[in-house]
């Protein structure tokens, strides 16, 4: 119970929408690009944008959130989880509200942390998710079953529709690729491997792949990130990644699909206790006439067939 109370307190507190001051921190080029994108959204009558950030623990979810907001909105620490429960950071600018929801890591002890997922679901109750950022590291070389489990858990929780608004974010993008591979080759192979898993776990069928391609964005949150001449953080490929990320988010929002409204029904799924309840009288009748009666007939046959002892 205590947990729940705290969650409410936290969510109440974060409801206080602050002015998006962090946007001033961005380099001028980034600022102008962001404002352009916000203007584009406003044109389409989108005045609120809610971004859900999910992924394994320690992949840089909180850092990404901070990078988007442009200030240290959520605590980050290098060696331990600083996000025990979901946090929503809301900022507004010129009548536009940006909500970014940071969540705790979904993995615990080698399994999907259902408890964390439950917390997230409860937190998201009655909110609309416009974009899901599924965060993983670019410098992780392999994908394994656990990744699949996480994607599956997200799909099971929010439905496969959420992947229409899903973006795969790969952090720690500033790396030197392993020998014999160029940076572009490495990133495309890594993102393809991850996307494959996501598609599989999100149950996106082959014919749907084209229609619902999930974009991949590379991110480097580190302060040592290379910068270009206009002081924007850039990837080894030369793209400024913050405008790129916001661009992708905007594209996803404007792609025509709908945001996911998280309601009670979505959290709990269909109540299995109610399924087929109407059919119970029919089932009962079936059981009486086709099971009980059948067994009674067998018993009758048994009695008729019972071998009499020699003396009777």
Residues in contact with 35: Cβ distance below 8 Å, sequence separation at least 6, in sequence order = 23
Stretch that binds another protein, among 67-75, 92-100, 103-111, 211-219 (CB under 8 A): 103-111
Interaction mask 63-102, another protein, x per CB under 8 A: ----------------------------------------
Does residue 81 have a known ligand-binding role? yes
Q: Does 306 bind another protein (CB under 8 A)?
A: yes
Alpha helices in the chain (DSSP H): 2-14, 28-43, 61-69, 114-123, 145-158, 183-201, 241-253, 264-268, 280-286, 293-305
Buried b (16+ CB within 10 A) or exposed e, 6-27: eeeeebeebeeeeebebbeebb
121 annotated as a binding-site residue: no
Give the 3-state secondary structure of residue 118.
helix
Site for another protein in 113-172 (CB under 8 A): 114-115, 118
As measured in angstroms, the least distance from the Cβ of 55 to another protein is 19
Let me know: does 58 contact 131? Beta carbons within 8 Å.
Answer: no
Q: Residue 39 or 269: which CB sits closer to another protein?
A: 269
Please report the beta strands in 193-233, taking only residues with DSSP state E, as ranges in sequence order: 216-218
Binding of residue 273 to another protein (CB under 8 A): yes
In whole angstroms, what is the distance from residue 238 CA to residue 233 CA?
9
Minimum separation from the CB atom of position 201 to another protein (A): 15
Give the residue with the Cβ less far from another protein, 50 or 155.
Answer: 155
Whole-angstrom distance, CA of residue 156 vs CA of residue 165: 15
Stretch near another protein under the rule CB under 8 A, chosen from 77-85, 138-146, 226-234, 275-283:
275-283
Listed ranges 41-49, 139-147, 254-262, 292-300: which one lies at the site for another protein (CB under 8 A): 292-300
Q: How far apart are alpha carbons 234 and 23 in whole angstroms? A: 17
Which residues make up each annotated binding site for GTP? Answer: 58-63, 77-82, 172, 220-221
Q: Which residues bind another protein (CB under 8 A)?
A: 3, 108-109, 111, 114-115, 118, 272-277, 279-280, 283-284, 287, 291-292, 295-296, 298-300, 302-303, 306, 309-312
């Amino acid at each position: 119970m205590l947990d729940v109370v705290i969650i409410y307190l936290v969510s109440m507190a974060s409801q206080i929408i602050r002015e998006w001051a962090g946007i001033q921190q961005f380099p001028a080029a980034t600022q102008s690009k962001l404002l352009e994108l916000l203007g584009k959204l406003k044109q389409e009558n989108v005045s609120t944008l809610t971004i859900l950030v999910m992924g394994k623990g320690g992949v840089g979810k909180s850092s990404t959130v901070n990078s988007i907001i442009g200030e240290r909105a959520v605590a980050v620490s290098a060696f331990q989880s600083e996000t025990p429960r979901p946090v929503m950071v809301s900022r507004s600018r010129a009548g536009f509200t940006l909500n970014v929801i940071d969540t705790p890591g979904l993995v615990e002890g080698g399994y999907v942390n259902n408890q964390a997922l439950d917390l997230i679901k409860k937190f998201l109750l009655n909110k609309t998710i416009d974009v899901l950022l599924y965060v993983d590291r670019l410098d992780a070389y392999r994908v394994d079953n656990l990744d699949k489990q996480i994607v599956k858990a997200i799909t099971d929780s929010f439905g496969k529709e959420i992947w229409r608004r899903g973006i795969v974010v790969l952090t720690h993008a500033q790396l030197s690729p392993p020998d014999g591979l160029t940076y572009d080759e490495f990133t495309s192979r890594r993102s393809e491997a991850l996307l494959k898993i996501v598609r599989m776990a999100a149950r996106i069928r082959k014919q749907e792949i084209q229609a619902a391609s999930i974009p991949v964005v590379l991110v480097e949150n580190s302060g040592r990130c290379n910068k270009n001449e206009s002081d924007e953080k850039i990837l080894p490929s030369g793209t400024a990644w913050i405008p790129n990320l916001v661009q992708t988010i905007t594209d996803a929002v404007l792609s025509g699909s709908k945001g996911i409204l998280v309601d009670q029904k979505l959290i709990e799924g269909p109540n299995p206790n109610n399924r087929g309840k109407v059919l119970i009288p029919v089932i009962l009748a079936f059981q009486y006439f086709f099971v009980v009666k059948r067994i009674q007939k067998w018993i009758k046959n048994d009695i008729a067939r019972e071998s009499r002892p020699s003396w009777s």
